[in-house]
Every structure is written in C-alpha cells, then in structure tokens.
Homo-oligomer: A and B are copies of this chain.
Amino acid sequence: MTSEARYDIVAIGNAIVDVIAQADDAFLEEEQLVKGSMTLIDADRAKQLYRDMGAAREISGGSAANTLAGASTLGRQCALIAQVADDQLGEVFTHDIRATGIDFDVPTISDDPPTARCLILVTPDAQRTMNTFLGASQFLAPASVDADLIASGAILYLEGYLWDAEEPKAAMALAIDIAQENNRKVAFTLSDGFCVERHRDDFIGLIQGGKIDILFANEDEIKSLCETEDFDAAVAQTAKQVETLVVTRSEKGAIAVHKGKSCAVDAEPVEKVVDTTGAGDLFAAGFLSGYIEDRSPEDCLTMGAVAAAEVISHYGARPEADLQKLLAQRLG
C-alpha cells in the first residue's frame, strides 16, 4: 500500500552555482572545449578558466535543482537533497532553492572544498558549454538521504551527472531502494552524452534492473546509451525497458513512449534563443508536473516544451517568467 505523498518530487542532485559568460567560438577552441558538452574540471583548471573567461553573472543551477525550481514554479511540492559548503556560494544556492519554495535541509560541510560551480560559456548561437568544478557537491553522503523524505515523495528524481562521484552514487542507490520499497516512482535523467559514456554500464544496469520508471534523455544521450547512431532503434530498444521514456530533440521537439505507446510534440516557438542552459532540466520539470497531475503524455510533453522554451529565452537555467500563466495560455 502506498501512503499519500507529502511531496510531489524529491530530487537528489548537484548543488551548483552557474557562472555564465558570453564567449566566442575562438575562445572555446583556444580552451579545447567541446561545444554543448559538460566537462568536469579540477580546482586549478577552474581557476585558470575563470581568469581567462569574460565577465559573468552567477545564477543558481544544478540539473535536478533546476528541474525542481521549474516544478515548484508550476505548483508542485518539492524537496532537494544536495550538498553545499559553508561559504557564500553555498548561501546563494541555499537561498535561491528555498526562495523558490523548495525544502532543502542538508547541513553544510566545511568551506573546503568550496561549493560547486559550473563555468558556462554561452556562444552567439546560444549553445552552452559547461565546465563543472564539483567541490563540495561530490561529498553528498548516503547519510544525507533521509528515508522518510524519500518515502514521502511521489517521484524520486535523480540526475546522471551525480554518478561521477562515489558518495552521491551510493546515496542515489540507497534512495532508489527506499523509493521502490515505498512504491514510489523513480525518474532519472541521463544528463549528458559524455556522462553516459563514462557510466554506460551502470546506467544500463539500473534500467535493465527495473530501477527506473521514467527516463529522460536527449538524442545524443540515448544513442550513446545504446551505442548506435540509429535514433529510432535506440528509442525502441530503451522504451521496452522503462514504463515512460521521454526524449528531447532540441528544435525538433520531443517524444514520449509511455507503456509502449508513442507520442510527440513540436518545439515551442521562441522569439530569440539566448542560452540553452537548462533546456532539458526544465523540460523534465514541465513533463513531471503534468505527470503528477495525471495528464496525458501529450500534455506532459507540451508542458515540458513550454517550460524549456521559457528557460532558453534568457540567461540562466531557472525560470524567470510565470510558468503557470504561460501554461494556462498554452493548454487553456
């Protein structure tokens, strides 16, 4: 028997402050960065890259945290499990997540290593190239996984990015077990093509082991997961292994396969794409918000597309506009 959920979504993710600067293609080449990807960097590289990049703005980020910010803006009750350090960027992250109405109570650890930051270079084509210094975020311990909290969330949402560090990986494995014991849904995002390459066997193990109910991916990620260039084949293969598969396709829209049945939506029109950071995160926010409301997969996709369209129309991966209003206009 499943008790009533106090939270709609409980997420485990990286606690990151994004440091967002404009850059040109020449700068990416100089720094040997692969446009559109996420690269993990150490403290020295973070220092060098920050010194050499342009003036920036700081906006709280973190993939799952962005998703919760979107879902919370859409009226969902959310809680986050993530690790910040006892420093100013940790205060910034904590403030922003709480100000968005999300419960976040993991105690800080010391100020060394510092709170994670992601140096994001946005090129004139609005693509974002991310360079993440994980800092304190990689020390999210299994002990921070509050079993009652996990049990009280209708959906447990996890980001693949967190698989890069040992302690958070163990924390997520523990959380999945608790969620499943309590008949909660587990949602997972593959996060990034290179991330899938690094952890393909683990991710396949989770999927084939029946640990994931709702899987989010983009084209690169699902093709990397299945080690094929054939998008349709990758979708067909993966859709058999999860109850709900959601694949975003940038300007080509998105598809969902729910219990074997497929549907698709076009991308929402955007006047000017400024910064694609957070597009996938906000798509997940919209989709899951619809899912919680028991909407059709088509409606869930539309909600995802509307939320994603809002976030790519400005710098930063957290919504600025009233998503509920945008959705009311779109869905009626």
Contacts and interface: CB of A to CB of B under 8 A. Distances in A.
Interface stretch (A1-9, A50-58, A233-241, A258-266): A50-58
A95 B318 contact: no
A29 to B, nearest CB: 19
A118 B56 CA distance: 17
Interface string A166-197: 00000000000000000000000000000000
Interface residues of A, number: 26
A87 interface: yes
A55 B88 contact: no
A331 to B, nearest CB: 24
A60 interface: yes
* This protein's copies in its complex: 2
A246 interface: no
A69 interface: yes
Contacts of A53: 99
Contact of A88 (B21, B56, B89, B316): B89
A300 interface: no
B95 A55 contact: yes
A297 interface: no
Interface in A85-135: 87-89, 92, 95-97, 99-100, 114
A59 interface: yes
Given A87-B88, A88-B87, A88-B89, A95 B51 contact: yes
Nearest to A114: B88
B55 A318 contact: yes
A121 to B, nearest CB: 12
Given A88-B87, A88-B89, A114-B88, A60 B55 contact: yes
27 contacts: A21-B99, A22-B320, A50-B95, A51-B95, A53-B99, A54-B99, A55-B60, A55-B69, A55-B95, A55-B96, A55-B97, A55-B99, A55-B100, A55-B318, A56-B95, A56-B99, A57-B57, A57-B58, A57-B59, A57-B316, A58-B58, A58-B59, A58-B92, A87-B87, A87-B88, A88-B88, A88-B89
Query: What 10 pairs between A and B have smallest CB-CB spacing?
Result: A58-B58, A88-B88, A55-B96, A55-B99, A57-B59, A54-B99, A55-B100, A88-B89, A57-B57, A87-B88
Interface of A: 21-22, 50-51, 53-60, 69, 87-89, 92, 95-97, 99-100, 114, 316, 318, 320
Given A53-B99, A58-B59, 6 more contacts: A54-B99, A55-B95, A56-B95, A56-B96, A58-B58, A88-B114
